[in-house]
Amino acid sequence: MIRWIVAGQDYFADELATYWVVSTHNLSGVVDTVSSTAEITPPLGFMLAWLGSKISLDPEAVRLPALIGGVASIPLVYAIGLRTVGRGAALLAASLTALSPFMIYYSGEARGYGVMMALVLASTLMLLLAIDDGRKRWWVGYGVFVALAAYTHYTSIFVLGAQFAWALWTQPAARKPLLIATVVAALAYVPWLSGLKGDLDSPTTDILSALSPFNATTVKSYTTHWLLGFPYANIAGVTVGSLKQMPGVPGLGLIAAGILTGLAGLWSARARLRPWFAANHNRIVLVVLLALATPVAEALASLLSTNIYGTRNLAASWPFVALAGAALVTVGPRKLRIAAAALLVAGFAFGAVKMTTTAYERPNYTEVAQFISDRDAGGVVVDAAALTPGPLANFDVEGSNPGEPVLRLDIPAEKTEPFDIYDKLPVPADVAADAVAEADGGPITLVSPADPTRTSGPLDESVPATAFIAALPPSYELAERKVFPGFLSLQALVFEQTGDPAGAAEAGGNGGNG
């Protein structure tokens, strides 16, 4: 239910690129577009989203593959846990997967992460089944899921490579079928090699790396939000989900208490740890290896080249972190195991419940559009809150159009091709002049983030929204302000013409009115 609620929220950020790809292309066009510089991601996630879009362009339909992948990850974690760390740890890990804010969010995002995690888990399960009974069907399944995961997101390769290395080293009897299945999966990837080369050569990764440098501060933020909290720490300079907010101090306290209780149990059971580990060491090593594979590999890659270390890029290893953590706290005496598990589940449940609240909802453009439409006063809308890689923004999405002409303020006007570094941003004063002409005496509604834009007092004209307000004629005054809360809150500022338009033209801009 929680995942379904999240999947019904408005599109946000990179999802708008997915929406553009699937809503304006047929299936072959989707593949062609993704293989161009428009994306730096393999095509399978977009192909599945395109299939969902044939049901509807509503967010729930386009996000359906991610939703299915997110739900499927829960029993997959349990099944892998049964074959690696034991029933109790498997149950705890599956519970944490169900309640993790990180896992919930990516179960409701129209990008490839939710699907990729499920496919990686499926490849691991197939590998374990194949090693256990040697049946050809499991090796076929392993090869298929390896190929599908790699076709969904490049970051899957770190976990896929780690599990291959583990099996090659520790399972000599399985080496031949392992090599055959892996080679077949690699051959299946050959058609995408040109797309891979284009993505490796794309300047987008370098741009993203420059925006988020690899240093101790970013590594700490990305890692903690990946493990425990909301995927976003801040957006456009606005704090949206610190750990003190999500899962919150009570949730963090319960998680810490659960870990400490588990460690106490681990210490009290230290005498039997060696035989327990000896009996299970290969499978435990696998889980730990897969938990560390993505963060370690991405950290090394970022040290040596372009930074790829980011919260969402760590996704492939999250389920294995849950398994490793669950194994750690469920080794001790029964009472301590139960207490540790209960505390951890309760701590993560705090975050899961918060994911259903308005404070952690994606920016609600649908309500903004409805507010503008309900006023039924004509006029024009100026969008200064768009977070999109282009070419479409939220007001271009089916069902989110406010019914008035929309001018863009802080993103290019381009609506047919993804943005690039050569696209010019609109000049706020020019947008203000265009808005006045387009409104023709009607209201001008400025939609912007609720925090950065001040509507009274001295204006910082380096901010497009405030520069736009300063450029409006004095005849336009702020008539109404409505805030739409979310993890990035929006505000609608309605400016109406109350003075003499002729006098306003002579006076020039309003110099900070509103």
Residues 314-326: pLDDT tens digits?
999 999 999 999 9
Mean pLDDT of all residues belonging to the chain: 89
Q: How many CA atoms lie within 13 A of 267 on its CB side?
A: 6
Are 314 and 336 within one domain?
A: yes
pLDDT of res. 207: 65
Residue ending a domain, among 316, 336, 360, is: 360
Are 315 and 383 within one domain?
A: no
DSSP summary character for residue 244: I
| Per-residue pLDDT at 103 exceeds 60 | yes
Contact 153, 45 (CB under 8 A): yes
243: confidence class by pLDDT, cuts 50, 70, 90: confident
Are 253 and 397 within one domain?
A: no
Q: Residue with structure tokens 């509503």?
A: 58
> Measuring CA to CA, which residue among 356, 390, 383, 357 is closest to residue 369?
383
Return the bridge partners of 127, or none: none
| Per-residue pLDDT at 460 exceeds 50 | no
| Per-residue pLDDT at 220 exceeds 50 | yes
CATH number of the domain at 422, please.
3.40.50
pLDDT of res. 456: 45
CA gap 344, 326 in Å, rounded: 9
470-497 mean pLDDT: 91
Residue ending a domain, among 318, 343, 360, is: 360
| Residue 446 three-state SS | strand
Asked which of 7-11, 161-165, 236-240, 471-475 is least confident by mean pLDDT, the reply is 236-240
Q: What is the pLDDT of residues 262-276, one digit of tens each?
A: 999 888 887 777 776
Are 188 and 334 within one domain?
A: yes
Rounded to the nearest 5°, which phi and psi values hold at 380? -145, 155
pLDDT of res. 377: 74
Q: Residue with structure tokens 């490049």?
A: 154
Are 176 and 315 within one domain?
A: yes
Which of the pair, 421 or 447, is modelled with greater confidence?
447
> Under 8 Å CB-to-CB from 294, ≥6 apart: which residues?
155, 158, 159, 313, 314, 315, 316, 317
pLDDT of res. 290: 97
Are 323 and 400 within one domain?
A: no
Handedness of CA 197, 202, 208, 213 (dihedral sign): positive
pLDDT of res. 419: 84
> Measuring CA to CA, which residue among 197, 234, 238, 194 is closest to residue 218?
234
Contact 244, 252 (CB under 8 A): yes
Rounded to the nearest 5°, which phi and psi values hold at 100? -65, 125
| Per-residue pLDDT at 513 exceeds 70 | no
Q: Confirm whether 514 is domain-assigned.
A: no
Are 425 and 469 within one domain?
A: yes
| Per-residue pLDDT at 48 exceeds 90 | yes
Contact 33, 39 (CB under 8 A): yes
Q: Confirm whether 345 is domain-assigned.
A: yes
136-153 mean pLDDT: 97
Which of the pair, 398 or 61, is modelled with greater confidence?
61
Contact 49, 424 (CB under 8 A): no
Rounded to the nearest 5°, which phi and psi values hold at 406? -120, 125
Which of the pair, 354 or 213, is modelled with greater confidence?
354
Are 194 and 319 within one domain?
A: yes
279: exposed, middle or buried (C-beta count within 10 Å: 0-12, 13-18, 19+)? Answer: exposed
CA gap 342, 336 in Å, rounded: 10
Are 202 and 342 within one domain?
A: yes
Q: Confirm whether 512 is domain-assigned.
A: no
Q: Confirm whether 384 is domain-assigned.
A: yes
Amino acid symbol at 203 = P
| Per-residue pLDDT at 180 exceeds 80 | yes
Asked which of 59-73, 150-164, 428-442, 444-458 is least confident by mean pLDDT, the reply is 444-458
pLDDT of res. 421: 78
| Per-residue pLDDT at 58 exceeds 90 | yes
> Measuring CA to CA, which residue among 228, 225, 288, 216 is closest to residue 253?
228
Are 370 and 308 within one domain?
A: no
205-230 mean pLDDT: 83
Q: Confirm whether 251 is domain-assigned.
A: yes
Q: What is the pLDDT of residues 113-134, one digit of tens each?
A: 999 999 999 999 999 999 999 8
What are 435's two structure tokens? 């808005």
Contact 446, 406 (CB under 8 A): no
Residue ending a domain, among 360, 380, 405, is: 360
Query: The pTM is what?
Result: 0.91
What b/e string do you get for 348-368 counting C-beta neighbours within 10 Å, with b at 16 or more?
Answer: bbbbbbbbeeebbbbbbbbbb
pLDDT of res. 501: 58
| Per-residue pLDDT at 82 exceeds 70 | yes
Are 296 and 431 within one domain?
A: no
Q: What is the pLDDT of residues 285-316, one digit of tens each?
A: 999 999 999 999 999 999 988 888 999 999 99
CA gap 446, 123 in Å, rounded: 49
Q: How far is CA 116 from the centre of its chain?
A: 12
505: confidence class by pLDDT, cuts 50, 70, 90: very low
| Per-residue pLDDT at 457 exceeds 50 | no
Q: Confirm whether 252 is domain-assigned.
A: yes
Please state whether the peptide bond connecting residue 391 to the residue before it is cis, i.e. omega within 30 degrees of 0. yes
pLDDT of res. 514: 38
> Measuring CA to CA, which residue among 15, 26, 41 is closest to residue 151?
41
Q: Confirm whether 513 is domain-assigned.
A: no
| Per-residue pLDDT at 508 exceeds 70 | no
Are 388 and 432 within one domain?
A: yes
Polymer length in residues for the chain = 514
CA gap 294, 222 in Å, rounded: 13
Q: Residue with structure tokens 């805030």?
A: 483
pLDDT of res. 275: 72
Contact 446, 484 (CB under 8 A): no
What are 98's two structure tokens? 């169900």
Domain that holds residue 84: 2-232+239-360
What are 293's two structure tokens? 């594979």
Indicate the number of domains in the chain. 2
pLDDT of res. 237: 64
195: confidence class by pLDDT, cuts 50, 70, 90: confident
Q: Confirm whether 54 is domain-assigned.
A: yes
| Per-residue pLDDT at 380 exceeds 70 | yes
- Which residue spans within 438-487 are E strands per DSSP? 444-449, 476-484
| Per-residue pLDDT at 452 exceeds 60 | no
Which of the pair, 419 or 116, is modelled with greater confidence?
116
